[in-house]
Each structure stands twice: as C-alpha cells, then as structure tokens.
Structure 1
Amino acid sequence: MKDLLGKVCDLQPRWTSKNDEYMQARGVIIRQELPDVLRGHASALAHALGTTPGNLGIEGRDGTGLKTEIPWFRVFGQEESPSATLGWYVVYLFSASGKHVYLTLNQGTTIWTGSDFKARRPEDLRARASWALPLLADGISTRQDLLTAIQLDARTALGRGYGPGNVVAIAYDRDDLPESDVLLADLLFMTGLLEALYRHERLAPYIPGDPAPEVLEAEQSAATTAGRRTSASARRVRSGQGFLLTAAERKAIELHSVRMAKEYFESQGWSVKDVGSKESFDLLLSRGEERCRAEVKGTTSTGTDVILTRAEVEKQRDYYPDNALVVVHSIRLDRTEVAPTTSGGVLHCTSPWAVAEEDLTVISYAYRTPVGPPSSPAPVASPTVADQRRPAETAVAFTY
C-alpha cells in the first residue's frame, strides 16, 4: 500500500483533466489497485465499522470523463453513504502537489444536479463537521497527530471543497510514508471513529448544516406527487443531506411546539383555543376585544426555514395585522425509546406577521393542463401560435 500511495503522489504534479498516459496510470491505481488492497482487509474493516462485510463499501474515483485534480478512495457503509455525495466516510485524499496524502474522516461535499456536481456551502459542511467532532472526543483523545484542517493546495473548486468537510485527518508526507502495517492500523482507527459517528447519526434529530427535516420532507413529497423518479439514495430516510421524521416524531414535535406556544400566549394575558384540527391556523387568541390568529411551527432544526401551505399564506395575509407566527426551533427529540419524546426548544414569535413575497420559496406547483374531460366533438384544426394559451400555475407549497 505504501508504494501505491507514493506512485499516486508522484503523478499528482502531472495532473491534467485529459486522460493522458499519466492520468490513465493514476486511474488504475485509484480505481483498482488501492481498493483491491483494502478489500484484502475487508473482514477487519467491517468489524471496525460495526457492520457486515456485505454492507462494507470500498471504492476509488479520479473523475468520470474529465480527470479530477484530487483523486480519492474511500471506506464507508453502503447503507449510510450510498454515494460519495451522501453521508460520512473515511477517505484518502491526495494533495495537488503530491507532497501529502490525507486519511480523513469526511463527508459528501457536493450535490449531483443531474448534469454536474455542485459544491455544498462551506458553512454547511463546517457546521456538520463541528457537530461531529465533540461526539468523537473519547476516540480522538487517544492520539496527538489528528488534524482538523487539511491543505490540499487545490486550484479547482471541487478540490477546495474537501477541506471544509473534514472532521479529523491524519497527514502523511510523500517523503516519509509509513509502512503498510502502520497505514492499516491508522485506517482501522479512523474506521472505528466512523462507526461511532454512524451510531450518533442514527439518533440525531437534526444535524446543523442539513436542510430542516420539514423542508426535506416537503421537497421529497413534491417530487413524488409530480411523478419524478428518484434514486434509492434520495428515498432513504437518512441521506447525508438531512433525514425525514416518522409520523410519531412529527406528531410529538407538533404537540410540543403548540404546548409551548399556548404557555407563551397565556403568559401574555391571552385566552388560547387550539383550533388546528379545523382551521388553517393553530391557535385562536382573545384578550378583551382583541383577536389574533397564530400559526405555530415546530422543528428540531435552527428554524431558519419552515413549510407553509398556500392556504396558510393566503389566510395569514387576510388576518394581518391581527396574526402571529410562532416558530419553536431546536427542539430536542429523543428517539431512543419506543415512543419519541421531546424537550427544550427556543420560541420565537412574530406579530403582526406580514408574509412578504421575497421570503417565500416555491417548492411545487399545481399546473392546469389543456387536457380535460371529454366534451362535445369540435372541429380538429392545426394549432397556431395564437392558439397556445398558457395554463394557469398555482403555487401549493412554500418554504418561509
């Protein structure tokens, strides 16, 4: 393994996006030879990851078509990280200069748009890494050589994106690469950290830097309603870019946030009636001659985005200025028991609440097509430009 790492380092200064003889040689090592070496230790790696050999993933990539500046090969759980754009994994990254190899606990740093890879926001990646780091404190404390920052000397945006995604890393100098037994021991150590991170992720109600669960659910629901085909990884509950809530978890969060909102308004002297089951808002408030209609949103996220239906938007605009938006964010969700429980949360109230158009992001539309029920036969004619009427579009869901 030591010799193969050294060969890739020596080829790095010859990087070009074209698949010339040097990049072909690099690709064979990255995609075939190095993964084959790791597969020879599959049993030990699966044990360190706390999974079965069947769920253990090992792969290397150096670009599809155009060659990438920073090649990599990784170890991962196939269920937890079905592609390199999703979830956490242990990955070897080679600096552009070839002077260093980093063994890093990292994450998906790009999003596949369908045509190319789009970089995730560095601040989101750093937020996720900052969430993960203290959870691994016990394991990390046993070593003094771990880095929280890596320098890949990358010129491309894709190459620079790996840095913010790093949680911890071990750096190897090209001129002082360890022997293969040390490299394997380091890899098993890092894979053990990955196993611990997977355990924490399964119980996490929200990871900073991810989309709010409610937003992710609305987006996936919109895709399903629109009949868009989605990959198996996109349908997973935990996708490395946020996770969905179960019905029981959603209900627990809803009841918790409404309870906090009722207590808040009652402390302000309002009489509060829960009307969420029959109205387009949640709480009807009365105080003397005053009336106010409050919409309540609860989330385990930081509350920067919430989901509104079209009816909620239209009704709240009618109710203004006798209305309110209550967001209870950062709710702690405990999913370790059979029934989920909630606690904590930060309440933020906006009243009066003016729903500004620039604060709304459309998630999906209802589209009235020219197709309708059959009617009396009409003469068939070739359509002209004048005949093409634009069907009406109606927004049905928003993030706010």
Structure 2
Amino acid sequence: MDDLLGNVLDLQGAWTASNTDEMRKRGVHIRQDLPAVLKEHSSALAEALGVTVEELGVEGRDGTGLKTEIPWVRVCGREQSPSATTGWYVVYLFSAGGDRVYLSLNQGTTVWTGGDFKARKVEDLRARVGWAMPFLAQQMAERVELNQEISLGARTPLGRGYEPGNVVAFEYSRDALPSQQVLINDLLYMVSLLRAVYDAELVAPHIPGDPAPEVREAEQSAAVVAGRRSRRATRPTRSGQGFRLTAAERRAIERRSVHVATPFFEAQGWTVKDVGDRESFDLLLKRGEERLHAEVKGTTSAGHDVILTRAEVEKQRRYYPANALVVVHSIVLDRAAEEPIASGGVLHCTSPWEIADEDLTVISYAYRTAVSNQNPVPGVQTPLSVLANGSRRLEQDRDASRSDVRE
C-alpha cells in the first residue's frame, strides 16, 4: 500500500486535465489498486465504523473526463455518505506537488438543495468542523501527530475546497511513507473517529453550518411534488444531510417559539393572543388602540433562513407597519422522551417588518398550463403557452391542519 501511495504521488507532478499516459496510470491506482487493497480489510473497517461489510463504502476518483488535480480514495458508510458531495468520510488526499498525502477526516463540500448541488461556504464548513471536534476530543488526546489543518498546494478551486472541510488528518511525507501495517492501523483509527461523528449525527437536531431543517425539508418536498428525480436519496436515515422533522417535533418547536415570544411582548405592555390555528399569523397583540400582527418562527438552526407561505407574505405586507417577525432560533430538541421536548432558544424580533423581494428566495412555482383551458382533441397535439400571470409560490411543508386554514 505504501508503494501505491508513493506511485500516485510520483505521478502528481505530471498532472494535466488531459488523459495522458501518466494520468491513466494514476487513474488505475486511484480507482482500482488502492480501493482493492483497502477492501482486503473490509471486515476490520466495517467493525471499526459500526456497519456491515455491505454498508461499507470504499471508492477512489480522479475525475470523469477531465482529470482532477487532487485525486482521492475514501472510506465511508454508504448510508451516511452516499456520495463524496454529502456527509462525512475518511479520505486519502494527494497533494498537487506530490510531496505528501493526507489521511483526512473530511466532509462533502457541497449541499443538496432539492434540485441541485451548491458549494458550501468556507465558514459553514468550519462551523461543521467546530461541531464535530468535541465528540472526538477524548479519542484524539494521545495522538499528538494529528493535524487540524491541511495544505494541498492546489491551484484549482475544487482542489482547494478540501482544505476547510478537514477535521483532523495524518500527514505522510513522500520521503517517509509508513509501512502498510502502520497505514492500516492509522486508517482504522480514523474510521473510529468517523464512527463517533456518525453517532453524534444521529441525535443532533441541527449541525451548525447546515441549512435549517425547515428550509431543506421545504426544498426537498417541493422537488418531490414537482416530480424531480434524483440519483441519490434526499436524506440518508442516519445522516445529517437533510433531516426531516416529524410532526411531533415540528409542533414542539412551534410551541416553544410561541412560549418564548409571548412573555417578550407581555413585558412591553402588549396583551397577547395566540391565533395561529385560524389566522395567517401567530400572535395578535393589543395595547390600547394599537394592534400588532406577529409571525413567529422557531428553529433548531441559527435562524438565518425561515420558510414563509404565500399567504404569510401577502398578509404581512398588508399589515405593515403594524406587524412583526419573531425568530426563536437555536432551540434545543430532546428526542429521548416519548414525546419530543423543545427548550431554550434565542429570540430576535423585527418590527415593523417590511418584506423586500430581494430577501425572498423562490423554492417552487405553481404554473398554469394551457391544458386546463382547452378540450383535447384525439390525434391533435395542442402546444402549451407560457402564461404571464402564472403564480409564483413559496412553499412550506406545515402541519396539515394549520396549513389548510392559512391557505
């Protein structure tokens, strides 16, 4: 195995996007030879990761068509990380100059939006790293040789993108590659760290740096309703990539957000009435002759994005300036009990709340086709025309009873 790593590093100096003889040799090592060696240890790797051999993923990539500057070979749980763009995994990353290779606990540097992949922001990747580190502290205590930063010397954005995704890594110099036994022992150790991250994901309602669960769920639901097909599951059941809140969890978060917002307004002299079960807003506030219509959003995320229905947007624009948006973010969700319990939360209030078009992101459209206005004639093809008054909609996957009333 050390010989194979050395061979790949020696070929790195000849990197080109074209499929030259050197790049073909490199591709065989990355896609075939190295994965084959790792698969010889499948049983031990699967045990260290806490999965079956069938659930263990081992693969290498060096680019489809054009050759990538930084090739990689990774080990993962197939369910937790169905592709290298999602989830956490352990990966060999070869430096551009061929002077070193890293064995890195890393992560997907893009995120699925329900219709496409978007590059994650560096600050989001680092936030995810910061979330993972406390779960690894005890296991890492005696491994002083671990690196929290890696430097691949890449010239391409894709190659540089791996660096902020690193949690911890072993660095192996080309001039001092360890023996195969040391390499395998290090790999088993890193896979045990990966298992700790997977276990932490199971109980995490939200991971810093990830989109809010409500936003991701709405995007995925909109994609499903629109009939979009995906080559990948939108959400591995054990992964942090796109967790779907249950109806009970959504109710617990909603109740908590209203519970936090109510005393906030009462302290300002408002009389607070919860009208969320029959109006397109949550709290009706009265203070003398004053009226305020407050929309309350609760989330386990940092609260940078929330979901609004079309009715909420239209009504709040009519209520302005006698309106308010209350976001109760960073709510803690405990799933250990029979019924989920929401606690904590940080309140942020905007009042008056003016909704600008540039602050809205369209998740899906309702499109009126010509089919609804014409009687089809057998054997005659009727062209569809684009209607200027096609309605634009912001979708929210809400508790059915509340959604029906509001819409």
Is the structural similarity TM-score above 0.5? yes
Per the alignment, do residues 263 and 26 of structure 1 end up closer, same or farther by CA in structure 2, a change over 3 Å counting? same
Provide the C-alpha distance between the structure 2 equivalents of 1:188 and 1:349, rounded to a whole number of angstroms.
48
Matched, 1:225 2:222: no
Deviations 1:293-315 (CA, angstroms, capped at 9, x unpaired): 11000000110100001110110
SS at match of 2:371: coil
Provide the C-alpha distance between the structure 1 equivalents of 2:328 and 2:160, rounded to a whole number of angstroms.
36
Per the alignment, do residues 110 and 382 of structure 1 end up closer, same or farther by CA in structure 2, a change over 3 Å counting? closer
Provide the C-alpha distance between the structure 1 equivalents of 2:366 and 2:382, rounded to a whole number of angstroms.
27
Provide the C-alpha distance between the structure 2 equivalents of 1:140 and 1:167, rounded to a whole number of angstroms.
11
Q: Quick check: 1:284–1:292 contact (8 Å CA) kept in 2?
A: yes
Partner of 1:321: 321
Partner of 2:387: 390
Provide the C-alpha distance between the structure 2 equivalents of 1:354 and 1:238, rounded to a whole number of angstroms.
39
Q: Quick check: 1:86–1:239 contact (8 Å CA) kept in 2?
A: no
Partner of 1:282: 282
SS at match of 1:276: coil
Per the alignment, do residues 376 and 53 of structure 1 end up closer, same or farther by CA in structure 2, a change over 3 Å counting? closer
**Which aligned pairs between 1:57-206 and structure 2 lie closer than 5 A?**
57-110=57-110, 119-206=119-206
**Which aligned pairs between 1:254-265 and structure 2 lie closer than 5 A?**
254-265=254-265
Partner of 2:404: none
Partner of 2:306: 306
SS at match of 1:170: strand
SS at match of 1:54: helix
Per the alignment, do residues 101 and 261 of structure 1 end up closer, same or farther by CA in structure 2, a change over 3 Å counting? same
Provide the C-alpha distance between the structure 2 equivalents of 1:121 and 1:260, rounded to a whole number of angstroms.
31
Q: CA deviation at 1:115?
A: 12
Q: CA deviation at 1:227?
A: 1.5
**How many residues are treated as equivalent by the alignment?**
394
Q: Quick check: 1:367–1:391 contact (8 Å CA) kept in 2?
A: no
Identity %: 65
Letter in structure 2 aligned against 1:392: N
Per the alignment, do residues 374 and 96 of structure 1 end up closer, same or farther by CA in structure 2, a change over 3 Å counting? closer
Deviations 1:333-352 (CA, angstroms, capped at 9, x unpaired): 11233321111110011111
Letter in structure 2 aligned against 1:10: D
Per the alignment, do residues 110 and 232 of structure 1 end up closer, same or farther by CA in structure 2, a change over 3 Å counting? closer
SS at match of 2:303: coil
Matched, 1:24 2:10: no
Provide the C-alpha distance between the structure 2 equivalents of 1:307 and 1:118, rounded to a whole number of angstroms.
19
Provide the C-alpha distance between the structure 2 equivalents of 1:260 and 1:312, rounded to a whole number of angstroms.
21
Provide the C-alpha distance between the structure 1 equivalents of 2:352 and 2:388, rounded to a whole number of angstroms.
35
Q: How big is the alpha-carbon RMSD for the aligned residues of Structure 1 and Structure 2?
A: 2.3
Deviations 1:112-138 (CA, angstroms, capped at 9, x unpaired): 899997532212111111111122111
Per the alignment, do residues 238 and 47 of structure 1 end up closer, same or farther by CA in structure 2, a change over 3 Å counting? closer
Partner of 2:212: 212
Give TM-score scaled by structure 1 length.
Answer: 0.93
Letter in structure 2 aligned against 1:179: S
Per the alignment, do residues 31 and 381 of structure 1 end up closer, same or farther by CA in structure 2, a change over 3 Å counting? closer
Q: Provide structure 1 residue ranges, at least 5 long, that are not aligned to the other structure.
A: none
Provide runs of 4+ in structure 1 moved above 3 Å: 110-119, 235-242, 373-377, 380-383
Per the alignment, do residues 260 and 44 of structure 1 end up closer, same or farther by CA in structure 2, a change over 3 Å counting? same
Deviations 1:313-346 (CA, angstroms, capped at 9, x unpaired): 1101111111111000000111233321111110
Provide the C-alpha distance between the structure 1 equivalents of 2:336 and 2:30, rounded to a whole number of angstroms.
40
Provide the C-alpha distance between the structure 2 equivalents of 1:376 and 1:70, rounded to a whole number of angstroms.
55
Per the alignment, do residues 198 and 119 of structure 1 end up closer, same or farther by CA in structure 2, a change over 3 Å counting? same
Provide the C-alpha distance between the structure 2 equivalents of 1:284 and 1:112, rounded to a whole number of angstroms.
37
**Greater alpha carbon shift after TM alignment, 320-329 vs 127-136:** 127-136
Provide the C-alpha distance between the structure 1 equivalents of 2:14 and 2:98, rounded to a whole number of angstroms.
9
Provide the C-alpha distance between the structure 2 equivalents of 1:338 and 1:232, rounded to a whole number of angstroms.
32
Q: CA deviation at 1:376?
A: 11
Per the alignment, do residues 118 and 249 of structure 1 end up closer, same or farther by CA in structure 2, a change over 3 Å counting? closer
Letter in structure 2 aligned against 1:34: L
Per the alignment, do residues 247 and 116 of structure 1 end up closer, same or farther by CA in structure 2, a change over 3 Å counting? closer
Q: Quick check: 1:286–1:292 contact (8 Å CA) kept in 2?
A: yes
Partner of 1:8: 8
Letter in structure 1 aligned against 2:387: R
Provide the C-alpha distance between the structure 2 equivalents of 1:236 and 1:115, rounded to a whole number of angstroms.
16
Provide the C-alpha distance between the structure 1 equivalents of 2:115 and 2:156, rounded to a whole number of angstroms.
18
Partner of 2:54: 54
Letter in structure 2 aligned against 1:343: S
Provide the C-alpha distance between the structure 2 equivalents of 1:272 and 1:216, rounded to a whole number of angstroms.
31
Q: Quick check: 1:233–1:239 contact (8 Å CA) kept in 2?
A: no
Letter in structure 2 aligned against 1:80: Q
Letter in structure 2 aligned against 1:27: G
